[in-house]
Structure 1
Amino acid sequence: MSHDTGQWEATATSHGAAEDPEWSRLSPRLLLVNLSMLAGPLALFAVTVALTGANLQALISLGSLLIVFLVITGISTMRLLTTRFRVTAERVELRSGLLFRSRRSVPIDRVRSVDVEAKPVHRLFGLASLRIGTGEQGASSRRLSLDGITRRQARRLRRLLIDRRGSGHATGQDQDVTIAEMDWAWLRYAPLTIWGVGSVFAAVGTAYRILHEMKVDPLELGVVKDIEDRFGSVPLWFGILVAVVITAVVGAAVSTATFVDAWTNYRLEREGVGIFRIRRGLLISRSVTIEERRLRGVELAEPMLLRWAGGATLSAIASGLSNSQENRSRCSLTPPVPRDEALRVAADVLAEEGSPTELTKLVRHSRAALRRRINRGLLVLAAVVAVPLGLGLWLTPVLVHTAWITALVGLPVVIVLANDAYRSLGHGIRDRYLVVRAGTFARRTVAVQRDGVIGWNISRSYFQRRSGLLTIGATTAGVGCHKVRDVSVGAGLAFAEEAVPRLLAPFIERVPRG
């Protein structure tokens, strides 16, 4: 350990004993991480030469890629040499840059999140990245990242910031309360997502584009030619069926591998007083911290296939965690688990006897909401049918038959999905929570604290006005807007008034009867 690191540890543990602590550096091991970045393009270069020979266009493309990685390595090395950081009694300070110098400072009382992440190469050299967020919307520059400190430094700095922030107190490991931890029986839920299939198409598209840029025709490769010679005479319908089965199997395998990578070593625990910590990851190790006082509620998500299997996922709704997309990805409290387990975790995290997402009696929406869902489904079906119908009238009558068969099969599917979406709609109030549910392909039930609602967002499309419906959203500070979709005007306004009395009243014009 360098002299600067030792000095930082001394000042960190003194809790403000030194008024002006020394500046610390990133670990010198980061240089080895930077050099390892060149392994990827060099390996790709060797594989390309072995498969395609000395293709001039491929060599030029890979040479350009190698130069780009050399530049990135140089920039990363310069960051290692110029970056300094320190923690004072009141602020976290970071300075970096040689030609363009940057100096950032964040008050301790503005720190909203302290996360630790270690990528595979960083873990190989005993390093980690510490990310300190302030929770300001759209202010990425207010987020400090220390990429390339030792894991020991990361743990100590995280604890120091939590203690000085007043979010908790130092505790031993035996004092932490485990709420949930990995059960490998949950692996059965891993294939029940569409992300694996989507990643297969993305990987194939990316590979095709790369080969095309290198002037290599994938259809002319020896492996592809061999497959074409062996199976080129099979019927088209059989080839399509085999392709669908292979895509589904590969997609399920990718989803399972993603689950293993993301959730190995998973543990959700209440750390000390007022801190939740989620640790997980096989290749990339992550540790996310959520302050209990910033917890506004939970979201129970049930994608269709997972719902049919009796599973669900649970996420925290918490303020001060930057934009909504990042908030969603960082606040996953559980992997896909049995629904009862997700409800148990929700009740434990919210310190309630039961999860409000399950105990709240939801109000059903009017039948006009069902008609809207049927009409939208029919519009989508009409667009799908129009494609083969138009081509059939232009090219071949076979596609016309495909169009009417698609319409015949698709009509009951639309009706079933529309009814399922309608049954999913609901809203209600239980104690200090308002609860909203919607969705069919991914049903989401949100329970948000009523005292966290700072406003209502009301919208009405032309077709909603004709049906006497509106969409009303509960806006919460630093979290987002949770919408009650396609609710009747009277029921929606009454719900808003009951959930947060007098917040909406100044904006309502009452029409006298008679």
Structure 2
Amino acid sequence: MSDGANAEIGARRVHPGTIAIDFLRRAPQTVIGLPAIAGWSSGRGLGWILLAAAVVGAMTLFFTWLGWRRFTYTVAPNELVIERGVLSRSRRSIPLERIQDVSIERKPLARLFGLAEVRVETGGGESDEAVLDSVSVSEAERLRAALRGHNLEVDMFSVAEGNVHSPESAVAATIFHMSLGRVMLLGLFGFSLVWIAALFGLLQFFDQFLDLGWDQLRDWAQVAEDEVRARFSLAAALIVAGIALVLGVVSGVVRALLREYGFTLRAGTGRFRRTRGLLTRTEVVVAMRRIQLAMIQRGPLRGLFGWNALSFQTLGGSNDPSGRQAMAPLAREHEVARIVDAAGLPPFERLPLRRVAAGHVIRSLLLALPWPALAIGALALVTPLAWLGLLLLIPMAIAALLQRRFHRYALRHTSLQVMRGVIAQRDWIVPFENVQVVTLRASWLQRRLGIASVLVDTAGAGGGGAPDVVDINLPEARALATGLVERVG
């Protein structure tokens, strides 16, 4: 590769180790096909079975090699060209000016072979525009530098494993790091029972290898149900709840360790570099000029103990469909403020924020309560115990009443700042220059209450919550929308 940022790289193939990685990835499919081979070879002896398995393995390896051989990539002065296909050839051209970001990911097999996966994102969709799997770590770093239009010698970031260094790597200072204890604490806050369902799915997959049928399990379940009905006690219920709690906590901790282990955020000239992951090690560089807004989140438990989560909405470079980049999954307020300041964003200030209109409470109650109340009333025609469900409406009513207290907004010197949410609270910092569209909207009910909402869109947003200001008096809504448009212009 030439050192020039725009010099062309001739057509290249990914690393030969990709053949071994792809072959190992396809191994489970080959193993699933072994019973069919055994059935075909029935009565022919063990030699035929081994021969058939060897033929299938050799064919898989050959086609894997052929796919590797026919896959090439070229970095031209103005585009990235990827050609692939054995029988049907395809040529994909990605203009370099469209590339928003390039990330490096190292999955367990790739790390075993000393390789990395390069993901190219253009911001034109929720998935990556191109994936080069796999190249050497040094080649991944050179590719990222070339695709971004930077010379490798002046790239301030080095590879996480230290295989590549640059003279200005010392400029990148660590501004946030999560210790093992903090990652595990994040897992405790991320209590989940999802993995329990995955465990039962795994048991069902391996059912044919276990001397255990679902009919037998159902019989055991019926026996257990009869025993529970015969000997039900509060202690038994607490034991079941305790087991579920432990499984949920363990699954949350494991998930956090796999995703956030070794989370480190470094800041250099105009960029952040984030590395994280236990088995799959990912490295993403976020250009500060592509940051559209900052969002600070507090869950019901983490907020109670003073913990926050910070993410940036960016133009690209995220596998999250919302386009957000996690910058600090579990951080104190001063740590969040340091990262926000490093990004060149104004600090979030709660004191100047003003509440939305009182009509927000009325609308929230009218939207939240009628349908559950009607459902409970319908069930009450069948069983009188359904009236106890009205107790569930009490927390819903309290949440609706509190929504106005936690929903505030203000136009600051350089940004729109919004806070919203009762149980899960969110704060937004939106620089005026990043506001793309301002919409003034009033539904039928809002018009009757004399209120309206101001919807704010930024580039790169794909969901996951927007910094909208909901239910403010109509004159104030018009003033807010006009003020945003004037500041954007």
Fold match by TM threshold 0.5: yes
Secondary structure of residue in 1 paired with 2:373: helix
Runs (5+) with no aligned partner, structure 1: 1-10, 47-67, 505-514
Amino acid at match of 2:297: A
Distance in 2 between residues matched to 1:209 and 1:237, nearest whole Å: 35
Tell whether 2:377 aligns with 1:389: no
Tell whether 2:429 aligns with 1:447: yes
**Are the equivalent residues in 2 in contact too, given 1:193–1:303 (CA < 8 A)?**
no
> For residues 190 and 13 of structure 1, do their structure 2 counterparts lie closer, same or farther at Cα, with a shift above 3 Å needed?
same
The one-character-per-residue Cα deviations of 1:101-160 (angstroms, maximum 9, x if unpaired) are: 11122232222101011111221122211011122246x5x8121011122211222233
Aligned to 2:389: 406
Distance in 2 between residues matched to 1:113 and 1:324, nearest whole Å: 14
Aligned to 1:52: none
Shift, 1:22, TM fit: 2.4
Distance in 2 between residues matched to 1:28 and 1:312, nearest whole Å: 44
Q: 2:121 pairs with 110, 120, 133, which one?
A: 133
Aligned to 1:123: 111
**Are the equivalent residues in 2 in contact too, given 1:129–1:147 (CA < 8 A)?**
yes
**Are the equivalent residues in 2 in contact too, given 1:302–1:311 (CA < 8 A)?**
yes
Amino acid at match of 1:335: P
Secondary structure of residue in 2 paired with 1:191: helix
Amino acid at match of 1:404: W
Distance in 2 between residues matched to 1:77 and 1:362, nearest whole Å: 61
Aligned to 2:72: 84
**Are the equivalent residues in 1 in contact too, given 2:356–2:470 (CA < 8 A)?**
no
Tell whether 2:140 aligns with 1:158: no
Shift, 1:239, TM fit: 5.5
Tell whether 2:286 aligns with 1:290: yes
> For residues 185 and 444 of structure 1, do their structure 2 counterparts lie closer, same or farther at Cα, with a shift above 3 Å needed?
same
> For residues 209 and 383 of structure 1, do their structure 2 counterparts lie closer, same or farther at Cα, with a shift above 3 Å needed?
farther
Higher helix share: 1
Amino acid at match of 2:330: P
Runs (5+) with no aligned partner, structure 2: 35-55, 157-166
Secondary structure of residue in 1 paired with 2:313: strand
> For residues 161 and 255 of structure 1, do their structure 2 counterparts lie closer, same or farther at Cα, with a shift above 3 Å needed?
same
Secondary structure of residue in 1 paired with 2:97: helix
The one-character-per-residue Cα deviations of 1:152-200 (angstroms, maximum 9, x if unpaired) are: 211222233334399x744433221222112334232322235x22343
Q: What does 1:245-324 align with in structure 2 at a 5 Å threshold?
A: 245-271=242-268, 273-321=269-317
Shift, 1:415, TM fit: 2.8
Tell whether 2:376 aligns with 1:376: no
Shift, 1:370, TM fit: 1.1
Tell whether 2:344 aligns with 1:350: yes
Distance in 1 between residues matched to 2:379 and 2:280, nearest whole Å: 45
> For residues 33 and 327 of structure 1, do their structure 2 counterparts lie closer, same or farther at Cα, with a shift above 3 Å needed?
same
TM superposition score normalised by structure 1: 0.77
**Are the equivalent residues in 2 in contact too, given 1:425–1:439 (CA < 8 A)?**
yes
**Are the equivalent residues in 2 in contact too, given 1:12–1:87 (CA < 8 A)?**
no
Aligned to 2:47: none
The one-character-per-residue Cα deviations of 1:63-119 (angstroms, maximum 9, x if unpaired) are: xxxxx9999988755432211012233322211112221112223222210101111
Shift, 1:419, TM fit: 2.8
Amino acid at match of 1:153: E
Amino acid at match of 1:435: Q
Shift, 1:281, TM fit: 0.6
**Are the equivalent residues in 2 in contact too, given 1:23–1:84 (CA < 8 A)?**
yes
The one-character-per-residue Cα deviations of 1:243-281 (angstroms, maximum 9, x if unpaired) are: 43322221111111111111112111123x211111111
**Are the equivalent residues in 2 in contact too, given 1:134–1:322 (CA < 8 A)?**
no
Tell whether 2:88 aligns with 1:100: yes
**Are the equivalent residues in 2 in contact too, given 1:176–1:270 (CA < 8 A)?**
yes
Q: 2:326 pairs with 325, 328, 332, which one?
A: 332
Aligned length: 451
Tell which deviates more after alignment, 242-251 or 226-235.
Answer: 226-235
**Are the equivalent residues in 1 in contact too, given 2:155–2:168 (CA < 8 A)?**
no
**Are the equivalent residues in 2 in contact too, given 1:360–1:428 (CA < 8 A)?**
no
**Are the equivalent residues in 2 in contact too, given 1:310–1:339 (CA < 8 A)?**
yes
Distance in 2 between residues matched to 1:227 and 1:380, nearest whole Å: 39
Distance in 1 between residues matched to 2:31 and 2:402, nearest whole Å: 50
Tell whether 2:459 aligns with 1:477: yes
Aligned to 1:113: 101
Amino acid at match of 1:157: L
Aligned to 1:13: 3
> For residues 204 and 343 of structure 1, do their structure 2 counterparts lie closer, same or farther at Cα, with a shift above 3 Å needed?
farther
Shift, 1:206, TM fit: 7.1
Tell which deviates more after alignment, 338-347 or 128-137.
Answer: 338-347
> For residues 485 and 97 of structure 1, do their structure 2 counterparts lie closer, same or farther at Cα, with a shift above 3 Å needed?
same
Aligned to 1:63: none
Aligned to 1:49: none
Q: What does 1:155-234 align with in structure 2 at a 5 Å threshold?
A: 155-164=141-150, 169-170=155-156, 171-186=167-182, 187-194=184-191, 196-201=192-197, 203-204=199-200, 218=214, 220-221=216-217, 228=224, 232=228, 233-234=230-231
The one-character-per-residue Cα deviations of 1:320-379 (angstroms, maximum 9, x if unpaired) are: 457972512xx1101122344323322332355xx22x3562110112111222233323
Distance in 2 between residues matched to 1:337 and 1:470, nearest whole Å: 35
Amino acid at match of 2:411: I
Distance in 2 between residues matched to 1:149 and 1:437, nearest whole Å: 44
TM superposition score normalised by structure 2: 0.80
**Are the equivalent residues in 2 in contact too, given 1:193–1:305 (CA < 8 A)?**
no
Aligned to 1:487: 472
The one-character-per-residue Cα deviations of 1:414-467 (angstroms, maximum 9, x if unpaired) are: 232223322221111221110122222322111111112132123332222222
Distance in 2 between residues matched to 1:490 and 1:207, nearest whole Å: 60
The one-character-per-residue Cα deviations of 1:35-79 (angstroms, maximum 9, x if unpaired) are: 222554678899xxxxxxxxxxxxxxxxxxxxx999998875543
